[in-house]
Amino acid sequence: MPDGLSTPVRNDWKWQTGTDISRIGCVKFAYVCSKKKGGAAMPCELKEKERTGVINPIFTCQPAGAQYASIGIKDCIGIVHGGQGCVMFVRLWFSQHYKESFELASSSLHEDAAVFGGVHRVEEAVDVLLMRYPDVKIVPIITTCSTEVIGDDVDGVVTKLNEGLLKEKYAGREVHLIPIHTPSFKGSHVTGYDVAVEEIIKHFAKKDKAAKKLNLLTGWQNPGDVRTLKHLLTEMDVEANVIFDIEEFDAPLMPDGNHVAHGSTTMEDLENTGSAIGTIALNRYEVGKAAQYLENEFDIPTVIGPSPIGIRNTDTFLENVKKLTGKSIPASLVKERGIAIDAITDVAHMFLADKRVAIYGHPDLVIGLAEFCLDLEMKPVLLLLGDDNTKYGEDSRIKALQENVDYDMEIVTNADLWDLGDRLQNKGLKLDLILGHSKGRFIAMDNKVPLVRVGFPVFDRAGYHREATVGYEGAMLLAEKMANVWFTDMEYTQNKEWLLNMW
């Protein structure tokens, strides 16, 4: 059925589900139908946390995001201009999640810098780094709260180093110093990543390259996600320039030994972003700025979002790839999709339907998970976004939630995990599941609500980073993971566990 396979996937969904809606109608249509059933405006509220201060934050600070971008690039070590802790805890965070070691440097400021300034520490740090690492070519210089408050002129010192140290001491060596401003008194690690990706692409992207690949700006993903995205594109016979390719964060232990992991995106890959046939940016809040820059500067056709979480968003992703490349969706992916839908159908209506869920973490992840949960007839009742981005209200996906959801749902910005605990302990919030990263584990344990680990960081489950959350495979794994967590809960709480004998 070649014609059927080459039609847009979201249309052929109807072809697939329409034949036996009683069996698989539970997937996808709950969300759409709620609008039709309810008619009137639905009670889904977007609001900022009322309390000042943050207790048990969901996010960390901007420089962490810039550091995450820098470890995704080959021959690159970022220097964080600030106190040593701004690197130490972030490295630990990455290492906990990936169970690998990563290379990052610090200008290691001390008290005197608060009075006299600390740019001389950047000069020393660049020199020491280049001496110690002869292969390093790219050095993002990442500011922090302290150095932004002091007012250190990082752009000026980069100019000085380019004119002085690099010409004199490192003549003939290609070195790129890239200032990245990430004051941590605004935004979060999500915006820090967004800013860093934009600055790095601005620095390298060129028009005159012959390469004609599709830019895939992945956003903050796991190696399992990158592997899955590459697989989808390979099946579609699309050559992609994956920014950043962090598949190797799942680093092998080789006979000759290895002690660090790093991404494999090269300088050439970054240059080629300016000559792509198109750009797909998966996560609006993580790579939207860079995608917009490429579109404005190089006139590259660009699609921003959605993150391919769940069946429907993966359909959209493939449709977008098809539009930008002219390649068709092969039978192999229709089959893969069918396997995922079949697996999801086995657990959705019987076990997941009506389960009340709270979700916290990166905004694109939270929104994608909420959409997927709705497709599974679940009820995301609380979405917690850990920063105060004022653009959330303009997000068409959030608007769609507000227009379509037919039960009480809260979307809280600038939220923290205390909000979640308070609602559970004092405000009568009833939940069946929580979706989020490991930092919410104590709230889940104290309130005896099963926590499905998803997002960043996840350090209390083995191998999580190896699994996909995106694509058909990710949708299947996620639905099954939610079901399995729920099954375990049924057994431990003796809540209808007999059902599992008959399933």
Which positions touch ligand SF4 (CB under 6 A)? 61, 63, 82-83, 85-86, 144-145, 184
The CB-of-439 to ligand SF4 minimum distance in angstroms stands at 16
Q: How many CA atoms lie within 13 A of 255 on its CB side?
A: 0
Shorter beta-carbon distance to ligand SF4: residue 178 or 341: 178
What's the length of the chain?
503
Sheet strands (E) in 103-210: 105-106, 138-143, 176-180
Token duo for residue 461: 């489950």
Least Å from the CB of residue 76 to ligand SF4: 20
3-state secondary structure of 360: strand
**Count of C-beta atoms within a 10 Å radius of residue 288:** 22
| Phi, psi (degrees; rounded to nearest 5) at 41 | -60, 140
The closest residue (CB) to ligand SF4 is 86
CB of 442 to ligand SF4, least distance (A): 22
Q: State the catalytic residue, choosing from 32, 128, 149, 260.
A: 149
Whether 104 contacts 196, CB under 8 Å? no
Q: Which is nearer to ligand SF4, 92 or 445 (CB)?
A: 92
3-state SS track over 374-391: HHCCCEEEEEEECCCCCC
- Compute the least distance from the CB of residue 61 to ligand SF4, in Å: 3
- Whether residue 420 contacts residue 382, with contact meaning beta carbons closer than 8 Å, is answered with yes
Q: Least distance from C-beta 150 to ligand SF4, angstroms?
A: 12
Task: Find, among 187, 102, 96, 45, the residue nearest to 441 by Cα.
Answer: 96
Residue among 147 and 413 whose Cβ is closer to ligand SF4 = 147
Side-chain half-sphere exposure of 398, counting CA atoms within 13 A: 22
Query: Could you tell me how far CA 343 lies from the centroid of its own chain?
Result: 25
The answer to whether 397 touches 411, Cβ cutoff 8 Å, is no
How many Cβ atoms from other residues are within 10 Å of residue 442's Cβ? 13
Distance CA 380, CA 398 (A): 13
149 is a catalytic site residue: yes
Minimum distance from residue 117 beta carbon to ligand SF4 (Å)? 17
Choose between 85 and 393: whose C-beta lies nearer to ligand SF4. Answer: 85
Residue 188 or 313: which CB sits closer to ligand SF4? 188
Minimum gap (Å) between residue 89 Cβ and ligand SF4: 6
Shortest CB 375 distance to ligand SF4, Å: 37
**CA distance linking residue 337 with residue 320, whole number of Å:** 16
Q: Given the complex with ligand SF4, which of 59 and 98 has the nearer CB atom?
A: 59
Of the residues 27, 119, 145, 347, only one is catalytic, namely 145
Closest to 102 (Cα-Cα) out of 224, 218, 257, 263: 263
Nearest CB to ligand SF4, comparing residues 86 and 434: 86
Tokens standing for residue 374: 């709705």
- Give the whole-angstrom CA distance, residue 437 versus residue 405: 25
Give the integer Cα–Cα distance in Å for 307 and 471: 9
Taking the least distance from each CB to ligand SF4, the nearer of 154 and 451 is 154
Omega of the bond leading into 457 within 30 degrees of 0 (cis): yes
Q: Which residues pair with 409 in a beta bridge?
A: 44
Closest CA to 381 of 360, 363, 399, 362: 360
Give the residue numbers annotated as catalytic, written as ranges: 145, 149
